[in-house]
Structure 1
Amino acid sequence: MRHASPITVSAVDLPRLERLLDALPEFGPVAEALDEELAQARVVAPEEIGAVVTMNSRVRCRETDTGKEYQVVLVYPEDADAEGRISVLAPAGSALLGATLGERLSWPVPGGKEQQVELLALEPVEA
């Protein structure tokens, strides 16, 4: 998912995300989209980030079609698991990075469909 305007990224997260992308053996569509978003991102100090999803943010989402609510934590690929820790290199993770509280997002899911969610709450989590 491409954001309508440039995303905001923490000055702490940006170098690590760039190293992650540089280390990939090949770029898939998600990595390519993330790379493009980062190239145009507004970079700010962590204390100035505001209500924006950063790495290690816990995000509460609501599916717009079903009303189902759930939480995920945006993490680096090595920290992703089935317990709601989602990789920034997954379609949902890439869409979440830089999103703002209250924003509506969508990302592809298996079966060729799009998952649409609204961001209800977010908080930083210890890495």
Structure 2
Amino acid sequence: MDKQITITELDFARLSKLTLSEKKLQAIEVRNLPFLTEEINRAAKVESKAIASDYVTMNSKVEVLDPDTKRVMTFQLVYPEEANLKNGKISVLSPMGSALLGYKAGDTISFNVPKGIKKMEIKSILYQPESQGEYTV
């Protein structure tokens, strides 16, 4: 069984709505919709004010470690329309983005890539809107 993840009720509501509207999505995002839907449905839901600051929520900026290359990278988890990999913004509908949501610093995530399963370690949460009192970002 997969590790329990935790998301805010607001993220759940917004992402549930997003998963129901498949139009305008790129092919890879459409293929990843079932995974994201499964993840948000199995997640424990908490109020935005109650989520611990070490969890990845929407718009969080995270530092991840690729254990294969030992490379540390920084990404911000965003909605599809804001995604811009050159600026470090990854869509929640991407395989890595869906995998990050709800996990916390110290966790290892797994997601599908063309060559199989990729693992990344969440090193730290550099920014989480809820921990800054931003509950509607």
TM-score by length of 1: 0.87
How far is the alpha carbon of 1:105 from its aligned partner? 1.4
Aligned match for 1:100, one of 81, 101, 104: 104
| 8 Å Cα contact 1:6-1:37 kept in structure 2 | no
- Alignment partner of 1:85 is 2:89: yes
Mapped contact 1:11–1:45 kept (Cα < 8 A)? yes
Letter of the 1:54 partner, please give it: T
Structure 1 unaligned segments of length 5 or more: list them: none
The equivalent residue for 1:67 is 70
8 Å contact from structure 2 (residues 66, 120) kept in 1: yes
Write the distance in 2 (CA, Å) between the matches of 1:62 and 1:121. 10
Task: Output the CA distance in 2 between the equivalents of 1:108 and 1:77.
Answer: 18
How far does the alpha carbon of each residue in 1:23-66 deviate from its partner, in whole angstroms, 9 at most, with x for none? 11498441101111111211101121111100000000011111
Greater helix proportion: 2
Distance 1:118 1:7 in 2: 15
Report the equivalent of 2:36.
34
Alpha-carbon distance in structure 2 between the residues aligned to 1:114 and 1:5: 17
Structure-2-length-normalised TM-score:
0.81
Q: CA RMSD in A?
A: 2.0
Report the alpha carbon displacement of residue 113 of structure 1 after superposing the two structures with TM: 3.4
Aligned sequence identity (%):
35
Unpaired stretches in structure 2, ≥5 consecutive residues: none
Count of equivalent residues: 124
Equivalent position of 1:57 in the other structure: 60
* Secondary structure, aligned partner of 1:53: coil
- Does the 8 Å CA contact 2:22/2:30 hold for their aligned counterparts? no
**Runs of at least 4 residues off by over 2 Å:** 25-29
